[in-house]
């Protein structure tokens, strides 16, 4: 065993990885989830959930066009997310099994119940806003969706973290905040795109808050992960995470500086925020797969008593 520590170049967070493994095979099984379905589901759930809060806020503060647009966007996002989930299960009939039991130890069970309460609320809110019918029921549904939406955006972090996947479980304290910040960025991006500039003030503020929070939380998660943070920084996941950060910060900056005056700037900023949120979810997903496939990330943290 060599005891020499490399001092040049990047700072080593832990001593060089030395361990034996069984023919280099992974210790845990990586999830067989398709990135498009599940990372897509994380993104769409966040977009829908945070969008419902923006919609309710817009309705309460007299920004009717933003409210309607965000309700429609949330309904679209939640419908697509349910489709992604069902696509991953393989057969539509299998979704019914999700509601066989109510099980707080299973984030997926809780999420299924949440989705089956949030979905109809978001649908009713959007339908009432678009048709103008049953405004009282529509208002109730808007409030309901706004109350359930944040939970929809944050529970997916628990869904990922409650696994033996080192890059997810190791960041289980930070992941919910990262997901809600990313969801807020996505929803404010959507609001910048669909709402008139006159009404987009709150979305611009929210975008800045979300981008700042996302940067801070990503930093904190990587610090906590130690050696496993490599999976967040390297390879496909690293590229996605760096792209996500650049897009989110650029999107928020564009929106804040020019989004109030220029419609094209609002559009560009909004698109960048949405794309940044997509990259964050796919980046975290890819990091998880990478950390599950290399036994190093399972063995060394356990050996080091982390």
Partner 1 sequence: MTDRHLLSGPEPDPARDAGHPDPPERVGFFTDTSVCIGCKACEVACKEWNAIPEDGMPLSGMSYDNTQGLGASTWRHVAFIEQKVPAPEGRTELSLIEGAPAAPEPPQAPGDMRWLMSSDVCKHCTHAACLDVCPTGSLFRTEFGTVVVQEDICNGCGYCVPACPYGVIEQRPHDGRAFKCTMCYDRLGAGQEPACAKACPTQSIQFGPLDELRERATLRVDQLHEQGVERAHLYGHDPQDGVGGDGAFFLLLDQPEVYGLPPDPVVTTRDLPAMWRHAGTAALSLAGSIALAFALAGRTKEAR
Nearest-5° Cα angle at 98, 97 to 99? 90
72, 75, 124, 146: which one binds partner 1 (CB under 8 A)? 146
Q: Does 57 bind partner 1 (CB under 8 A)?
A: yes
Q: Does 53 bind partner 1 (CB under 8 A)?
A: yes
Residue with Cβ nearer partner 1 (57 or 283) = 57
- Half-sphere CA count of 56, side-chain side, radius 13 A: 19
Residue with Cβ nearer partner 1 (9 or 90) = 90
> Which residues inside 279-298 make contact with partner 1, applying CB under 8 A?
288, 292, 295, 298
Question: Rounded distance, CA 197 to CA 28, Å?
Answer: 49
12, 14, 97, 246: which one binds partner 1 (CB under 8 A)? 97
Q: Does 28 bind partner 1 (CB under 8 A)?
A: yes
Kindly state the smallest distance separating residue 96's Cβ from partner 1, in Å: 8
Size of the chain in residues = 306
Is residue 93 within 8 Å of residue 19, measured between CB atoms?
no
Which positions ≥6 away from 42 have C-beta within 8 Å? Answer: 156, 160, 179, 281, 284, 285
Kindly state the smallest distance separating residue 101's Cβ from partner 1, in Å: 4
Q: Does 117 bind partner 1 (CB under 8 A)?
A: no
Q: Does 107 bind partner 1 (CB under 8 A)?
A: yes
Kindly state the smallest distance separating residue 11's Cβ from partner 1, in Å: 26
122, 129, 141, 183: which one binds partner 1 (CB under 8 A)? 183
Is residue 78 within 8 Å of residue 51, measured between CB atoms?
no
Q: Would you list the DSSP string of 144-168? A: HHHHHHHHHHHHHHHHHHSSS-HHH
Q: Does 203 bind partner 1 (CB under 8 A)?
A: yes
Q: Does 165 bind partner 1 (CB under 8 A)?
A: yes
- Half-sphere CA count of 270, side-chain side, radius 13 A: 23
> Which residues inside 59-78 make contact with partner 1, applying CB under 8 A?
60-61
Rounded to 10 degrees, the C-alpha dihedral 65/259/279/194 comes to: 20
Question: Rounded distance, CA 91 to CA 87, Å?
Answer: 7
Nearest to 126 by CA among 61, 59, 193: 59
Kindly state the smallest distance separating residue 134's Cβ from partner 1, in Å: 25
17, 35, 76, 209: which one binds partner 1 (CB under 8 A)? 209
Residue with Cβ nearer partner 1 (139 or 293) = 293
76, 79, 80, 95: which one binds partner 1 (CB under 8 A)? 95
């Amino acid at each position: 065993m060599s005891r020499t520590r490399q001092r040049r170049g990047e700072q080593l967070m832990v001593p060089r990885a030395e361990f034996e493994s069984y023919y280099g095979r992974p210790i845990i099984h990586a999830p067989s989830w398709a990135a498009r379905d599940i990372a897509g589901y994380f993104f769409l759930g966040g977009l829908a959930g945070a969008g419902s809060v923006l919609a309710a806020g817009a309705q309460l503060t007299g920004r009717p066009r933003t409210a309607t647009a965000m309700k429609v966007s949330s309904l679209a996002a939640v419908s697509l997310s349910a489709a992604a989930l069902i696509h991953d299960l393989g057969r539509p009939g299998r979704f019914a099994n999700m509601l066989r039991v109510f099980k707080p130890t299973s984030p997926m069970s809780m999420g299924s119940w949440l989705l089956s309460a949030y979905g109809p609320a978001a649908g009713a809110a959007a339908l009432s806003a678009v048709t103008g019918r049953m405004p009282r029921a529509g208002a109730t549904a808007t409030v309901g969706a706004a109350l359930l939406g944040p939970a929809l955006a944050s529970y997916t972090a628990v869904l990922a973290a409650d696994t033996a996947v080192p890059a997810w479980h190791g960041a289980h304290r930070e992941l919910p905040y990262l997901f809600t910040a990313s969801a807020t960025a996505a929803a404010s991006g959507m609001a910048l795109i669909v709402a008139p500039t006159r009404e987009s003030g709150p979305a611009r503020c929210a975008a800045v808050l979300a981008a700042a929070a996302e940067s801070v939380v990503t930093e904190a998660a990587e610090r906590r992960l130690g050696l496993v943070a490599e999976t967040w920084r390297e390879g496909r996941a690293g590229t996605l995470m760096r792209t996500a950060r650049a897009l989110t910060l650029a999107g928020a900056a564009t929106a804040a500086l020019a989004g109030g005056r220029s419609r094209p700037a609002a559009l560009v900023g909004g698109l960048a925020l949405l794309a940044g949120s997509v990259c964050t979810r796919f980046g975290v997903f890819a990091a998880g797969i990478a950390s599950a496939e290399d036994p190093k990330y399972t063995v060394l943290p356990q050996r080091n008593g982390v």
